Structure 1
Amino acid sequence: MAAPCAQALPSFAQVRAQWRSSDWLLLARDGEPLERTRIDKKERRGDWVALADVSPALREAIVVSEDKRFYEHSGVDWHGAAAAAWANLWNTRTRGASTVTMQLTGLLSDVPEHSGRRSIVQKAGQAVGALWLERSWRKDQILEAYLNLVPFRGETIGLSALSLTLFGKAPSGLDEREAAIAAALIRAPNAPYAKVSDRACRILREMKAPERCENLESYVQLAFARPAPAMLTVSPNAESLAPHFARRIAGEVQVAPGARVVTTLDAKLQRFAIDTLRRTLAELNAPAHARNVHDGAVVVLDNATGDVLAWVGSSGGLSVARDVDAVLARRQPGSTLKPFLYAEAIDEHRLTTASLLNDAPLDLDAGGGLYIPQNYDKDFKGWVSVRTALGSSLNVPAVRTVVMVTPHRFAKTLTALGMPLAQNGDYYGYSLALGSPDITLLSLTNAYRALANAGVATPTHDLPAPPATHGGRNADTPRRVFSADTAYIITTVLSDNNARTRTFGFDNPLATRVFSAVKTGTSKDMRDNWTIGYTSRYTVGVWVGNAEGDAMWDVSGVTGASPIWAAIVEYLHRRVPSTPPAAPPGVVQTRVSFEHDVEPARTEWFLKGTEMSRVDLAADATGASARSTSYAPARADNVQSAAPGIGSPTNGTVFALDPDIPAARQRIVFERLNGASTRSAWRLDGKMLGHAERVLWLPWPGRHVLELVDAHGASLDQVRFEVRGASARTPAPPTAGHERPAKAPVHAHGPLTSQ
């Protein structure tokens, strides 16, 4: 091996500049480190450590162990070399004559020389290089470079990596015992515990600290047994803030060891989102009222730029699948798709927010059976306006609307918003209105951002825009999905707390102190709970549930994701206002009243040309039916007959319990046919239920047989139905102030979806 040429040795500045950590660093928009990810699997190197950040104990241990006259010689310790030569002549065991400067010369050569014997030529070359290095570098620079370049145990290179992997602390915090162990490893990096502890003890005695030798071998064993961290960070206590986002960035850009990638994330917001998510989930799983919800995700977007400001992919230690990025996981969004459905109907001039939809039983042919959506509050609501239907998230009006729009066209609208569906609209059918497709939190949140941006959809961004674009991105091609007028009208509904009171009550987490437009959603079997909404500056999306797909227990639309969403909105606008959007020129405001006072008179927004001052019921809708809150679906039987018969439920109905509310507060209505005799009695699964004309039954999962029987127990009429969806676990007590009114089950025959 050739000796290094002194003239070829680099300067200290060059060595420092060429140093590369084995990790790459994810930075927030202001340059603050958020996440470190190891990329070099051959060697483990940390950040370059300045000598001022190395503990005095370690500096002393290195000098005592490797070069006692380091601060006195000029690169070669001639006194030590002579002593070593004399000892070698008499075969006496002694330390080598290689100084720290000579060792550094070997580390800086083209072929680094790790531990082992060196030839006379190599020693001579190191000596020449050391003499040149001492004339070109300062002593502190030589020691600093040596500590950063010297190999330690296994794959570990440099003091930073050794200190963090072996002792779990920064080099500045090493005490005398740890410093002695580190120095001992330079001579014999892979020596057994006993030899390392023996050499470390000799170093401690030379450091005048022999008392630290007690139990040293046990301490060495514990240190070597410490699991190596997945990443190296100057602060061992620093939390991993964006692991999932870092993985996303690594898939988008070419990252190399030592790379520092600036992203769009806001460090303070990211921390707040993480803390809020974990604190809320911990409260939901407190022993007193465990809700079986362990996972969650948060994404925050800048409305104007599409920059991702926060990306929390999991709940961390609370999750059994913490590596799963829930921001990108596909799940059923429930009722969060309804604003886009009504926006399309309004854009097509099929509806206005004052239009009345009949919230009454609806039987739709779904090919394999009937699709029969139903709502809550034990009864149907009767005639309701579109504003009430969307604000209070009623299911039946949404299904009636998708019938008008057609699932095929609605699916195309969702795709235009950036939500690529796995199937076409006909595959999902009418259940598309209630959120049956699988959607990611990121795409759903960005779709709401399109509403915030007057109906125009653009992509999201993880990396800052190049300076030449002045904040814009030429690759962004805006897609107008809805007119600005329709987007404004939908925003007035989603920000109207009065419109949501029938479901959520007036005092709910969705009513923020600043302007915001928001919608909740829960998928079937209470597996996914969402809250998505926007302010004048930001769009926030939150999902909670279980990564493995288990159902939550008694987590309603406003007790799961909504408190997290509301807290983040309040944080974002703690110092800056959120103002409602200005009305575009294509909308008008008109005072409107409703026939039979179905809803109180109010001022309503309309697209120009669709305004009206009075909304009447359909010609075949009587005032009684408009005001009624109880309906029974028609059967094939002659409903005017006085013969005993069951009017509700119909034979073969499948009930899916509405996941947006506690199962214990839902009811299925048993009713006789119109005009049927009241002398008959109800019998369910062989047990009598009484003679009442109308029974509200607490649903229980399984297949059931309902009968009307005469005084002798003989069956007069019989239907079979099934209840699906809820866990049989006894629900936890409701959380005061956050529960929704009781709902009746969602009926579904075929695909089971829900609000």
Structure 2
Amino acid sequence: MPSKRGTATVRAVLCALLIAAAPCAHALPSFEQVRAHWRSSDWLLLSRDGVPLERTRVDKTARRGDWVALADVSPALREAIVMSEDKRFYEHSGVDWHGAAAAAWADLWNTRTRGASTVTMQLTGLLSDEPERSGRRSIVQKAGQAVSALWLERSWRKDQILEAYLNLVPFRGETIGLSALSLTLFGKAPSGLDEREAAIAAALIRAPNAPYTKVSERACHILRDMKAPERCANLDSYVELAFARPAPAILTVSPDPESLAPHFARRIADEIHPVAGERVVTTLDAKLQRFATDTLKRTLAELNAPAHARNVHDGAVVVLDNATGNVLAWVGSSGGLSGARDVDAVLARRQPGSSLKPFLYAEAIDERRLTTASLLDDAPLDLQAGGGLYIPQNYDKDFKGWVSVRTALGSSLNVPAVRTVVLVTPHRFAKTLTALGLPLAQSGDYYGYSIALGSPDITLLSLTNAYRALANGGVVAPTHDLPGSPAARNHRTPDPAHRVFSADAAYIITTVLSDNNARTRTFGFDNPLATPFFSAVKTGTSKDMRDNWTIGFTSRYTVGVWVGNAEGDPMWDVSGVTGASPIWAAVVEYLHRNVPSTPPVAPPGVVRTRVAFEHDVEPARYEWFLKGTEMSTVHLAADASGASERSTAYAPPSARNARSAAPSIGSPTDGTVFALDPDIPAQRQRIVFERAGGASTRSTWRLDGKPLGHAERVLWLPWPGRHLLELVNAQGASVDAVHFEVRGATARTAAAPETRAQARSPRAQPAKAPAG
């Protein structure tokens, strides 16, 4: 060891060099400048109140996290750094003269020591334009560092020096700074590092790319200095596992192992191209985003429980502010439950099923073709379509005969919707959907009458915003995901707001969608769509139960939910009331846990009148009308709007398939294919077997060789597969027979899915005729 006289000599020699190197010290920045110029390698997505939601790496040259305040560094790590790099850090004024003398003495006798660079001296190297990251420095370089360290100690506080050092020091590989190291190596924030992890981090400063055995050995020495030798147990294995941990593509300090808004972050990145270190404030609500994410995952996990697996793995949720159009929640995937977690289901195009019906009836009301009291015939219907027949059907306890528009929309009946699109025409309805912002790929003539039942492919975001137009009195306006001007840097300028429906028609449709009594004939009175506060909502399910939707709004928010499978596989017994609706109900109840939702005020263009229905087709009630269309009695022959008369014009001829001489099968026709409706519970659907001729002759129904009875009209609970239906005379001989097929059902009939039934002849257009 050097004597006191040797130490003084070293001090004198170094002082001479310090005087010569003094001018370079004044080039060092202040602590505030260093912190202000720090840039993470990621850009950070923030909620509207500044909560971090997502980090996305931009700078590929180095991996840097956020600047970490010393108060957010674990005490164990602060101790480990001082023990490893500068034991007299809190005692010296930048230069450890005792250590320098020891190093000089060791050099004289050619003995290796740890060197004399203090934390402060190392920091000056990191702050210089060309920091020395490795290798031995010359005596002149050492002197320059010493001068800078003395100056830094006079200008900065000790806590600032240690804080800057921990943020700027290089660690393993491309990792710079404690934040990046702790998140990549240990998967936690710097505040959570324990003694063992702190010792490993400190050991990496001296030899950042050393093998794990060397790092473990060095870390154990540090633990002994920290008086924690017991933490050396199994240290080799721990370091090896830490080194084997794959570096994440993003750095996140979210409590969830998965990030909160990856798909939304990708959308923002595509729009404005954030740079490294940028903090982008969005319109998302962090608490709502987490709640929607957790609710979606929990519901899908329950649907896939081993006892009743339903084969549904994907979902998405969007929440919009009615007044501003701000996107408050954007959940694009179910995360780990999904086999296609990178697919953003908010923007993926899928068939919406019955969720388009409110817009169809709104257009018919605006054109004064129908009122919500108009009667439509829910009976078999054949329509010529592209050289074939389009035969829509729904089987909610049989065809219901004459029903009001309110019942048809509320209970999601298919045939009345098709009758309505005949009045409106597919071409005009498609133009309305396009005006609402739905991305239809083809014209209305391409989809044909099936457009009434949701055959176009659209996105959850566009459909949710279209329902927001109903909430806003018929005016569609763009959504916003960034606060401030939508024409901000590289951000697309949205289309201006414009009216699609009158405020009167939008209000009347809202009264139907919020009327639980109107939906009871299909969904029952007790269903997830009935909230304890005002809400207007509709479900939809596409063919073969591939897509399930629930979209609705309150007085303040519009919420859209989709569940299904990204790859298009059918779900098993999952419907609007069992799949998407519970998620939707949970989200709207969360939104209104402390905020009321009140019904809209009736606009001046509507009137409320009590109406009665001929033959008590439906109970008398008060109904809303556009001024000039109101009535007090609705007749079956023709109501004020002419709806009943128009409806019968499209019913199939009564003589269809009739044979006057002998009993024959009038319905179904030979070769009919029935697809069960995903919007109606399976156990409530029926197929009608009806005789067409020879009613006076006694005959018996026989299905697949088993008798069904003698009635003129039989309602049969459908079962999937190919079937043979016969009429048998008194002698047991078959006098007429038809073959038909049932599709879209599964053998899992214990549950009660919402389903949609639709029958098509084999000549119907497969591309245009949806099964949902």
TM-score, normalised relative to structure 2: 0.90
- CA distance in structure 2 between the partners assigned to 1:233 and 1:679 by the alignment: 77
The verdict on how the C-alpha distance between 1:217 and 1:743 changes in structure 2, with shifts beyond 3 A counting, is closer
- CA distance in structure 2 between the partners assigned to 1:280 and 1:44 by the alignment: 37
Equivalent of 2:527 in 508, 517, 523: 508
Q: C-alpha root-mean-square deviation of aligned residues, in Å?
A: 2.8
Q: How does 1:346-745 map to 2 (within 5 A)?
A: 346-466=365-485, 477-618=496-637, 634=653, 639=658, 641-661=660-680, 663=682, 665-676=684-695, 678-684=697-703, 687-690=705-708, 692-693=710-711, 694-710=713-729, 715-727=734-746, 730-731=747-748, 733-734=750-751
The verdict on how the C-alpha distance between 1:211 and 1:614 changes in structure 2, with shifts beyond 3 A counting, is closer
Moved more, 169-178 or 417-426: 169-178
Give the conservation status (yes or no) of the 8 Å contact 1:4–1:125.
no
The verdict on how the C-alpha distance between 1:597 and 1:211 changes in structure 2, with shifts beyond 3 A counting, is closer
- CA distance in structure 2 between the partners assigned to 1:54 and 1:360 by the alignment: 73
Aligned to 2:16: none
Q: Which amino acid aligns with 1:733?
A: A
The verdict on how the C-alpha distance between 1:302 and 1:81 changes in structure 2, with shifts beyond 3 A counting, is same
Q: How does 1:99-138 map to 2 (within 5 A)?
A: 99-138=118-157
Secondary structure class of the residue paired with 2:578: coil
Give the conservation status (yes or no) of the 8 Å contact 1:4–1:129.
no
The verdict on how the C-alpha distance between 1:203 and 1:574 changes in structure 2, with shifts beyond 3 A counting, is closer
- CA distance in structure 2 between the partners assigned to 1:316 and 1:689 by the alignment: 51
- CA distance in structure 2 between the partners assigned to 1:731 and 1:633 by the alignment: 34
Give the conservation status (yes or no) of the 8 Å contact 2:390–2:769.
no
Give the conservation status (yes or no) of the 8 Å contact 2:539–2:549.
yes
Give the conservation status (yes or no) of the 8 Å contact 2:668–2:688.
yes
Alignment partner of 1:183 is 2:198:
no
Secondary structure class of the residue paired with 1:463: coil
- CA distance in structure 2 between the partners assigned to 1:743 and 1:447 by the alignment: 23
Q: 1:165-194 CA distances to partner (integer Å, 9 max, x unpaired)?
A: 222222223222222211111111110111
Aligned to 1:753: 770
- CA distance in structure 2 between the partners assigned to 1:638 and 1:211 by the alignment: 91
Secondary structure class of the residue paired with 1:420: coil
Secondary structure class of the residue paired with 1:559: helix
Q: 1:243-281 CA distances to partner (integer Å, 9 max, x unpaired)?
A: 211111112223122211111111222222222222222
Aligned to 2:244: 225
Q: Structure 1 residue 340: deviation in Å?
A: 0.3
Q: Which amino acid aligns with 2:618?
A: E
Q: Which amino acid aligns with 1:297?
A: A
Secondary structure class of the residue paired with 2:250: coil
- CA distance in structure 2 between the partners assigned to 1:222 and 1:474 by the alignment: 49
Q: Structure 1 residue 713: deviation in Å?
A: 6.3
Secondary structure class of the residue paired with 1:540: strand
Q: Which amino acid aligns with 2:216?
A: S
Q: Which amino acid aligns with 1:689?
A: P
The verdict on how the C-alpha distance between 1:615 and 1:182 changes in structure 2, with shifts beyond 3 A counting, is same
| Count of residue correspondences | 737
Moved more, 212-221 or 401-410: 212-221
Aligned to 1:208: 227
- CA distance in structure 2 between the partners assigned to 1:474 and 1:177 by the alignment: 53
Q: How does 1:234-249 map to 2 (within 5 A)?
A: 234=253, 240-249=259-268
Give the conservation status (yes or no) of the 8 Å contact 1:28–1:267.
yes
Q: Structure 1 residue 555: deviation in Å?
A: 2.0
Aligned to 2:280: 261
Q: Which amino acid aligns with 1:523?
A: S
Aligned to 2:187: 168
The verdict on how the C-alpha distance between 1:6 and 1:401 changes in structure 2, with shifts beyond 3 A counting, is same
Give the conservation status (yes or no) of the 8 Å contact 1:646–1:708.
yes
Give the conservation status (yes or no) of the 8 Å contact 1:553–1:731.
yes
Q: Which amino acid aligns with 1:692?
A: H
The verdict on how the C-alpha distance between 1:562 and 1:42 changes in structure 2, with shifts beyond 3 A counting, is same
Give the conservation status (yes or no) of the 8 Å contact 1:26–1:36.
yes
Equivalent of 1:34 in 42, 49, 53: 53
Q: Which amino acid aligns with 2:162?
A: L
Equivalent of 1:12 in 31, 44, 48: 31
Q: Which amino acid aligns with 2:70?
A: L
Runs of 5+ unmatched residues, structure 1: none
Give the share of equivalent positions with the same residue, in percent: 85
Alignment partner of 1:272 is 2:308:
no
- CA distance in structure 2 between the partners assigned to 1:574 and 1:519 by the alignment: 22
Aligned to 1:139: 158
Give the conservation status (yes or no) of the 8 Å contact 1:169–1:236.
no
Give the conservation status (yes or no) of the 8 Å contact 2:395–2:687.
no
The verdict on how the C-alpha distance between 1:323 and 1:732 changes in structure 2, with shifts beyond 3 A counting, is farther
- CA distance in structure 2 between the partners assigned to 1:526 and 1:459 by the alignment: 30
- CA distance in structure 1 between the partners assigned to 2:626 and 2:156 by the alignment: 77
